[in-house]
Structure 1
Amino acid sequence: MGIYSTLLFTSTFVFILLVCSVDPRSIHVWVFGIQMLWQTFWHLLIQYREYYLHESISIRLFLAVSSLMLLTQRITSVSMDLHEKRVMLPLNASSKREACVTLLPLISYILNFTTLLGGPLCPFSRFVSLMAGIGLNPPPNPLWVVFLKLMQVLLLEWVRYCLVYFLKHTNIILYGVQWVWGLAVVLRIQYYSHWRISECLNNAAGFGFWENSSGDSSDWTRLSDGDFWTIEASSRMSEFARRWNATTASWLRRLVYIKCKRFPLFMTFSFSLWWHGLHLGHFVGMLTWAATVKADYHIHRHLCPKLSPTWRKIYTCLSWINTQMIVTCIVIAVELRNMSGLRLLSITYIGLFPLFNIILLFILLKLNTVY
Structure 2
Amino acid sequence: MELFSYGVPSRPNIAMYQGSQLLKPLSRAVGLPIDQVNFTCSMLMSLIASVILRLSFHPSHTTATVRHIYCVAIGLTIGVFCWGGLFYCRRSWNVILFVLGCYMLLRTVGPQHIQKVVFVYSMAYLTVLHWYRLKSYGVYVLDISGPVMVMTQKMTTLAFNIHDGLAQTEEQLSPECRKHAVRKIPPPIEFASYLLNFQTILCGPCSQYNDYIDYIEGRSLQSRSPTANGSTFKDVPSSKEPSPVRAVMEKLGIVLVLVFVNLKLLPLFPMEYIREEKFLMNTGFIGKTTYILCATTVTRAKYYFAWVMADVVCNASGFGFNGYNEDGTERWDLVQTVHIARFEFSLSWRDSLASWNTQTMVWLRMIAYERAPCMKTFLTYLLSAYWHGFFPGYYLTFGAGALVTIAARNVRRSIRPVFQKSRTMVLLYHVMTFLACRLVVAYVTFPFMLLSFWPSIQIYKSMYFYIHIAILLATFILPVVLPPPKPGSTTENSASQSSRMK
TM-score (norm 1): 0.86
Pick aligned residue for 1:209 from 321, 329, 339: 321
Task: Provide the residue aligned with 1:159 in structure 2.
Answer: 261
Task: Provide the residue aligned with 2:18 in structure 1.
Answer: none
Supply the distance in 1 between the matched residues of 2:307 and 2:464 (Cα, whole angstroms).
28
Deviations 1:111-154 (A, max 9, x none): 11211212222110011111112773675443342222111111
Q: Is the Cα contact below 8 Å between 1:203 and 1:209 reproduced in 2? A: yes
Query: Comparing both structures, which one devotes a greater share of its residues to helix?
Result: 1
Supply the distance in 2 between the matched residues of 1:194 and 1:271 (Cα, whole angstroms).
23
Pick aligned residue for 1:149 from 251, 256, 274: 251
Whether 1:83 aligns to 2:163 is yes
Note the C-alpha offset of 1:165: 5.0
Supply the distance in 2 between the matched residues of 1:254 and 1:296 (Cα, whole angstroms).
22
Task: Provide the residue aligned with 1:67 in structure 2.
Answer: 147
Pick aligned residue for 1:41 from 106, 118, 128: 128
Q: Kindly report the root-mean-square deviation, in angstroms, between the aligned alpha carbons of the 2 structures.
A: 2.8
Pick aligned residue for 2:394 from 263, 282, 294: 282
User: What are the equivalent positions in structure 2 for 1:106-121 lying under 5 Å apart?
Assistant: 106-121=191-206
Instruction: State which structure, 1 or 2, has the greater radius of gyration over its C-alpha atoms.
Output: 2
Amino acid at match of 1:207: F
Q: Is the Cα contact below 8 Å between 2:153 and 2:206 reproduced in 1? A: yes
Note the C-alpha offset of 1:48: 3.1
User: What are the equivalent positions in structure 2 for 1:1-371 lying under 5 Å apart?
Assistant: 1-2=83-84, 3=89, 4-50=91-137, 59=141, 62-85=142-165, 86-89=181-184, 102-133=187-218, 136=234, 140-164=242-266, 166-167=268-269, 175-212=287-324, 216-307=328-419, 308-309=421-422, 310-338=424-452, 339-347=454-462, 349=463, 351-364=465-478
- Shifted more, 236-245 versus 24-33: the winner is 236-245
For structure 1, list consecutive stretches of 5 or more residues without a partner in the other structure: 91-100
Supply the distance in 1 between the matched residues of 2:329 and 2:106 (Cα, whole angstroms).
40
Q: Is the Cα contact below 8 Å between 2:203 and 2:307 reproduced in 1? A: yes
Q: Is the Cα contact below 8 Å between 1:192 and 1:227 reproduced in 2? A: no
For structure 2, list consecutive stretches of 5 or more residues without a partner in the other structure: 1-82, 166-180, 220-232, 274-281, 487-502
Deviations 1:276-305 (A, max 9, x none): 113211111001011001100111101112
User: Cα 1:118–1:350, aligned 2, differ >3 Å: closer, same or farther?
Assistant: farther
SS at match of 1:114: coil
SS at match of 2:364: helix
Q: Is the Cα contact below 8 Å between 2:338 and 2:356 reproduced in 1? A: yes
TM-score (norm 2): 0.65
User: Cα 1:213–1:184, aligned 2, differ >3 Å: closer, same or farther?
Assistant: closer
SS at match of 1:219: coil
Amino acid at match of 1:71: M
SS at match of 1:231: helix
Supply the distance in 1 between the matched residues of 2:431 and 2:188 (Cα, whole angstroms).
52
SS at match of 1:222: coil
Supply the distance in 2 between the matched residues of 1:73 and 1:361 (Cα, whole angstroms).
32
Q: Is the Cα contact below 8 Å between 2:134 and 2:390 reproduced in 1? A: no
Supply the distance in 2 between the matched residues of 1:164 and 1:294 (Cα, whole angstroms).
32
Amino acid at match of 1:343: Q
Amino acid at match of 1:88: R
Deviations 1:151-192 (A, max 9, x none): 1111123234443354379x9788421111110001112111
- Shifted more, 288-297 versus 222-231: the winner is 222-231
